[in-house]
Amino acid sequence: MIIDIKTLRQGVSHYQINETAEKLGIDIEDVKFTAPVLSTVAINNVPGQLTVSGRIKSGFETNCARCGCISKGNIDSTFEHKYVNGEAFPGGELNKDALDEEILSRDTLDFFDEIRQAVLLAVPEKVVCRENCKGICPGCNKNLNKDKCSCKPGVIKPFAELKNLLKDTKAKKGKM
């Protein structure tokens, strides 16, 4: 969705956008969106400066970082993006006090870009199915939320197996 800044009225304009993640060009590995991305966006257009602020909501599914089960997550976050008109500052120098501002050098603003960036920031890198998810036992590969494992606490299984293997080999050698 492209906004033509030249014809944008002064002051605040409100928009509501309801698009699927696919349409917005959002593709995050192992994340499946279960709802469209609902965005409410306001543009404040004052001479020389444009402020885009909004709120995004959606839902997604991904794998729990500990046990791998399908876990649901929600997105509900806000964003704000400031643009200054490049012509407002001679020579195109950006005001050093305003590092969060970007120079707006185009006549158009792509809303989908704004929303896409906000969604990418809002999706957490790691999701756990529950706070006390016990994860997968590295020894027996059992899901410890569902099954009890018989691994002895404090014993690192792969190492123990290696010891047994060495014993076996020695025993076999002894017989020879």
Nearest to 53 by CA among 61, 64, 41, 45: 41
* Shortest separation between residue 62's beta carbon and Zn ion, angstroms: 11
| CB distance 59 to 75 below 8 Å | yes
Which parts of this chain interact with Zn ion (CB under 5 A)? 64, 66-67, 129, 133, 137, 139-140, 149, 151
Q: Is 113 exposed, middle or buried (0-12, 13-18, 19+ CB in 10 A)?
A: middle
Give the residue with the Cβ less far from Zn ion, 66 or 116: 66
* Shortest separation between residue 133's beta carbon and Zn ion, angstroms: 3
* Shortest separation between residue 71's beta carbon and Zn ion, angstroms: 7
- Interior/surface letters 127-137, b for 16+ CB within 10 angstroms, e for the rest: bbbeeebeebb
Q: Up-side HSE of residue 15: CA atoms within 13 Å toward CB?
A: 21
Which tokens go with 55? 């709120």
* Shortest separation between residue 162's beta carbon and Zn ion, angstroms: 16
Give the residue with the Cβ less far from Zn ion, 82 or 142: 142
